[in-house]
Structure 1
Amino acid sequence: DATGRVYTWGFGEKGELGLGDSIKEVDVPTWVEHLDGVHVVDVSCAVHHTAALDNKGRLFTWGYGGTSMSDSALGLGPSDGQNVTLPTLVETFIDDGVRVQAVDCGDSHTVALSADGEIWTWGRGDNGRLGNGELISLDFPEPLDFFDSMTCVAIAAGRSFSLALRDDGRVFGWGKNNRTSSSPSG
């Protein structure tokens, strides 16, 4: 809302609601109290995880903790399969002195844009959805080297693909490209 509070509702058996272990479903918008004192300016939700960005450029994630295949899109480190049911600060950005400007959640991955125009990705790596030239999953956010000499101004994440808009208006896409989801159609 206008005060930076986050409200969730719906079904969240994997912690997607951010309301703790005991609340799996709510029918009306419910305040995520764990973010009390945090002024949230952007939220993105996917099938099993949620990300919230505050006005200080800090990123919080919660939801599905992944499996032994390390497919968690939370960016909180190696997963033991435990779901994260409360918003948790993604420390990588704090440790690297990065201020996050935008975030978008894909089906099993997450994309972030730094205030400096740098693209970061993490989560499930199949289909090239992380854009790093590999098919391995990442437990922590990592910057994309491809964009090192470029400035990006917007991002988007789809089910198994991602997009970035450069400051000169060019759009880049990577990941699964069935039905031309990540590249222009002819």
Structure 2
Amino acid sequence: MRHSIVVCKGESEFSVYGFGSCKRGQIGSSSSHAKSVGLPQHIPGLDSVEIVELYANGDHSAALSADGRLYSWGRVFPGAPDACIPQLLPSSELIKEACLGWNHALSLTDDGEVLMLGGKLHSLHNDPALKSLASQQSGVTWEKVPGPDRAKVIQIAAGAEHSALVNEDGSVMTWGWGEHGQLGLGDTSDQILPQTVNLSDGLPFTATNTTVYCGSGFTFVVRKHQRKRPSTIE
């Protein structure tokens, strides 16, 4: 939204840099006086970590390592203070994908489960029946996002205050802030739990032809359609 993160790969190490707004430490700057930085600043603490993905949104940033660990800095999440230096977010699960909203984060595990941190308008904390799904570690609470029974998630996306996922069968589900119709459910209501989006385009649902993307207050889905080649008559 107001800052950028860059990773540079050397022969044997990775260097991460940040620039832009730094009021909450989201570019790894410890300066309490500067509101923004116009030149890339080296972010300490990740030089010995093999970084495969970077994420930046709202007032925080995150980095995913090759061994499935997620680091975060800036305005972190409930149960943790702001941090100018990347902090490892404790999790008992290996993470293969992550995304950030303004106040929340999603992670996708190797087992195809979705975990969530924070979120004011679509926090699972709002549903008392789901408290048993939460696991508390070092003040940071990851919550398991419920979905269809035995459904494996293959992709996740996060907007400002809403989220989306794609299941193994190609179905798309959304939840969170719905004021602008960004949940694709035909109304502007908020949703605490994931709801299935009706994609009535006549195309077959598969995990390989469906991708979901989220902006601040909108969502769109790309569905690829493979046309069959006409048969030739010899």
Give the structure-2-normalised TM-score: 0.58
Cα distance in 2 between the residues matched to 1:140 and 1:99? 16
Q: Which residue of 1 aligns with 2:210?
A: 153
Report SS of the residue matched to 1:145: coil
Q: Distance in 2 between matches of 1:149 and 1:61?
A: 32
Q: As a proportion of its length, which structure holds more helix?
A: 1
Whether 2:219 is the aligned partner of 1:162: answer yes
SS at match of 1:129: coil
**Structure possessing the higher relative contact order (Cα contacts under 8 Å, 6 or more residues apart):** 1
**Corresponding position: 1:8 with 2:72:** yes
Count of aligned residue pairs for this structure pair? 148
State the alpha-carbon separation in 2 of the partners of residues 77 and 27 from structure 1: 27
Q: C-alpha separation between the residues in 1 aligned to 2:162 and 2:149?
A: 20
Q: Is the 8 A contact 1:99 1:114 kept in 2?
A: yes
> Superposed, which structure 2 residues align to 1:104-119 within 5 Å?
104-119=157-172
Q: Which residue does 2:100 correspond to in 1?
A: 45
Contact 2:101–2:162 (8 Å) recurs in 1: no
The runs of at least 4 aligned residues of structure 1 exceeding 4 Å deviation read none
Aligned to 1:139: 192
The percentage of counterpart residues that share the same residue type is 22
1:129 deviation in Å?
A: 0.4
- 1:67-107, CA deviations, whole angstroms, 9 ceiling, x for partnerless residues? xxxx22x4x26359xxx9421111x22x5221111111111
Report how far residue 111 of structure 1 moved: 0.7
Q: Quick one: distance in 1 between partners of 2:158 and 2:193?
A: 14
For structure 1, list consecutive stretches of 5 or more residues without a partner in the other structure: 16-20, 170-186
Question: Paired residue for 2:83?
Answer: 26
C-alpha distance in 1, partners of 2:167/2:211?
Answer: 10
Any conservation in 2 of the 1:126–1:135 contact (CA below 8 Å)?
yes
Distance 1:29 1:130, change over 3 A: same
Change (3 A) 1:159 1:96: same
User: Which structure is higher in strand share?
Assistant: 2
